[in-house]
A = this chain, B = another copy of it.
Amino acid sequence: MTGQNLTGYTYQPATTKPFTAINPVTGKQLEGDFYPANHAHVNHAVQLATQAFPVYKNIAKDKKAAFLRAIATEIEALGDVLIERASAESGLPLGRIKGELGRTCGQLRLFADVVAEGSWVEAVIDSPLPNREPMPRPGLCKMLVALGPVVVFGASNFPLAFSVAGGDTASALAAGCPVIVKAHPAHPGTGALVAEAIRKAAEQTQMPDGVFSLLFDDGFSVGEALVKHENIKAVTFTGSFKGGMAIYQLAQQRREPIPVFAEMGSINPVVLLPGILQNKAEDIAAQYAGSITLGAGQFCTNPGLLLGVASPELARFEMALAKAISAVPPSTMLTPGIYQNFKHLSAELLQQKGIEVIGTGAEPESDGDNQAGALVAKVKAVDFIANPALSQEVFGPYSLLVVADTVEQLKQLIDVLDGQLTVTIMGETDELSDHKELIEKAGNKAGRIILNGVPTGVEVCAAMQHGGPFPATTDSRFTSVGTSAIRRFVRPVSWQGWGQDFLPDELKDGNPLNIWRMVDQQWTKD
């Protein structure tokens, strides 16, 4: 682990002032110097990615799949070295990191399967109609092809699963796009280890030089230079609203605007219907105390807002939630900056009109060690509606219970909400039909609508939508989790009038790749 920037297959000699990683548990520096990339590194990485693109895009699907699988194998081969470093750099427990490593390698292999299976290109074939009047129709066929070099910003809250070889990298590589990762400065050592695994996998499977690069920076200039580079064709980001919008605006101000898939703030509202509270107030409180404080509340799908109608049952829920929260020990946050932000933002919110604390977790022992105590507050609907500040995301173990006077007011609450990754309805089956309008309104605000569950825990599957209306994400039409994430990095291309020899295999007569295709309006493997 030299802390050097990796452009393609080559580690670049250091020229800049290094930075180090901090262990958020101890507040101490971890070993290893990391060197912010310079201008030449940025340009070299993009130039290599540009050259690699036409080669990598056209590599046979089984070879791309082998590359993705080799990355997973190489990451697993890092073993405890990786797990311990990722834990030390993030403050996340070893068990959580082990689970995340499993998910990361699972994602890589899932996308390998998607690529090897091949149907993801959505091949469409319209046969020629030589006898059509007044004009014959030429044969037309279409499939998805890779966009070009992609920049991935590593996320702080998933140092493996949404960082250097995370879901964004896996899906972009699967699509046929070279990837340049801007490493997250909070876990540069984890990033370096994973990047070396990718470099080895690329070499083993004979991928073109430049299919992958990793650049460090503890500031903003490397990210900015990457987003502005004319050869970059898409960007992914998971983090704050401010960070996501800065990248988005940069990308839109280019001569050629490019897609930015920024997953930003979401408070993931949970609507507690009256009937289910009568029966299960205590169970739901226990379930939600767990979801609110899972991983120190540092999930994009953390339930930051609970909505209910004033009633004895809601009072029971509130008491049970306060009790369950009081048993939650303080937990280390990812970085000192995230902890400070949590402390200030939650303190600020407690100053707002009508806010009342209803429950707190065990107090951290001191202030210096990045440990956040859980916090649940409540407010009346009328005060919530009047104060947009209460709708902002507080990244950490925090949730706000908003108490409406009536079901009608509950609907008004939903109307004022911003776009969300998820909304959850907690309700008994027999009361749902009384709340159809409310459920419809809630559904229009989110990318995923959950019944009687918790929003944390995002399945990696075909039917997952992890992306909601703005400001949850910059583009609600795409998902960053699940197999459809590959669609972010492609565009359709039509071929008109071409013979068999010059069509991609995906579009050839006889379907040599045996993929699902839509031929003359019918899905078929023939």
Contact = CB atoms under 8 A, between A and B. Distances in A.
Interface in A401-434: 419, 429, 432-433
A465 interface: yes
B497 A462 contact: no
A335 interface: no
Nearest to A488: B477
Q: How many copies does the complex hold?
A: 2
A324 interface: no
A124 B523 CA distance: 14
A479 interface: yes
Given A54-B441, A448-B494, 18 more contacts: A54-B444, A137-B461, A138-B453, A140-B459, A140-B463, A256-B470, A259-B475, A432-B502, A443-B493, A448-B493, A449-B493, A449-B498, A450-B496, A451-B497, A462-B521, A464-B494, A469-B491, A477-B492
Contacts of A498: 449, 451
A121 interface: no
A16 interface: no
Interface string A141-176: 110010100000000000000000000000000000
- Identify the interface centre among A463, A484, A501, A518: most chain B CB within 10 Å of its CB: A463
A126 B461 contact: yes
A476 interface: yes
Nearest to A471: B256
Interface string A191-211: 000000000000000000000
A449 B496 contact: yes
In the A-B complex, the 10 residue pairs with the closest CB atoms: A465-B494, A140-B463, A523-B523, A126-B463, A448-B494, A142-B463, A256-B470, A451-B497, A476-B491, A252-B252
Contacts of A449: 493-496, 498
A485 B451 CA distance: 32
A58 B58 CA distance: 42
A440 B496 contact: no
A499 interface: yes
A456 to B, nearest CB: 12
Contacts of A523: 516, 523
Contacts of A496: 448-451, 453
Contact of A474 (B257, B443, B452, B465): B257
A248 interface: yes
Contact of A464 (B140, B450, B453, B470): B140
Contacts of A396: none
A474 to B, nearest CB: 7
A3 interface: no
